[in-house]
């Protein structure tokens, strides 16, 4: 699988760059698509549904990302390579996302009444970006450790649903346009692929009371 990861990263980066270029060069054309999708979300912009999506969108918040990262870091405290990969992906996604927001200066849609307004720029969606990295990474870990076929299927479906629902929540709550969310997904997927493609190595300390075995390094499986 590793030999396909560089190609995947290149593909995600290409789609992201194309989206950014379209937003810059053809903003009016893309606004037609974004506006149409926003009209589809209007039936979900009721007080009841808005409360549901406010809860869903917290899964992509900075607080949630940090909390889940700390849990993963604790569970894999003996695997610093895994922690390093996830940290690299999260930092790379967050920093590059914020830089691109400042570079493109795309304005956000008007926030729904009663919700806290956000004054940063819109493309790409940070929640979608970081959710793709965090829950995508978590899904890979769960899939690797799953023993049964149903467990492996769940390891794919559950993180995917969380990622998609976070993206939908950003549109329903009028925090982002569809293209912002798609851009966030592509940027996050790029960093996720990069995190597994780079040649990090882990050290396994096998201590034997007789031979005092030296540390052994081997590639991440």
Mean pLDDT of the chain: 85
pLDDT value of residue 105: 87
Q: What would the pLDDT profile of 36-83 be if each residue is shown by its tens digit?
A: 999 999 888 888 898 999 999 999 999 999 999 999 999 998 888 889
pTM: 0.84
pLDDT value of residue 8: 83
Angle at 109 between CA 104 and CA 114, to 5 degrees: 135
pLDDT value of residue 114: 60
pLDDT value of residue 5: 65
Q: What would the pLDDT profile of 129-139 be if each residue is shown by its tens digit?
A: 999 999 999 99
Which regions of the chain are under pLDDT 50?
Answer: 201-221
- Ordered by start, the domain boundaries in the chain are 2-219
Between CA 55 and CA 187 the distance in angstroms is 24
DSSP notation for 143-192: HHH--SHHHHHHHHHHHHHHHHHHHHHHHHTTSS-HHHHHHHHHHHHHHH
Element containing residue 67 per DSSP (H, E): helix 62-75
């Amino acid at each position: 699988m590793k030999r396909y990861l560089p190609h995947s990263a290149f593909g995600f980066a290409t789609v992201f760059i194309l989206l950014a270029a379209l937003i810059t060069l053809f903003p009016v054309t893309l606004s037609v698509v974004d506006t149409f999708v926003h009209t589809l979300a209007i039936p979900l912009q009721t007080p009841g549904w808005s409360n549901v999506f406010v809860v869903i969108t917290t899964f992509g918040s900075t607080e949630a990302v940090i909390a889940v990262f700390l849990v993963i870091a604790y569970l894999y405290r003996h695997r610093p390579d895994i922690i390093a990969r996830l940290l690299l992906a999260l930092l790379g996604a967050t920093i590059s996302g914020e830089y691109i927001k400042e570079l493109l200066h795309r304005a956000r849609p008007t926030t729904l009444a009663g919700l806290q307004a956000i004054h940063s720029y819109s493309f790409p969606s940070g929640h979608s970006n970081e959710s793709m990295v965090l829950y995508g990474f978590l899904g890979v870990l769960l899939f690797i450790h799953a023993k049964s076929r149903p467990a492996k299927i769940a390891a794919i479906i559950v993180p995917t649903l969380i990622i998609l629902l976070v993206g939908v929540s950003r549109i329903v709550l009028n925090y982002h346009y569809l293209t912002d969310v798609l851009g966030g997904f592509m940027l996050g997927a790029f960093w996720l692929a990069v995190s597994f493609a780079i040649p990090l190595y882990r050290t396994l300390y096998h201590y034997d009371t007789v031979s005092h075995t030296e540390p052994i390094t081997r590639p991440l499986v």
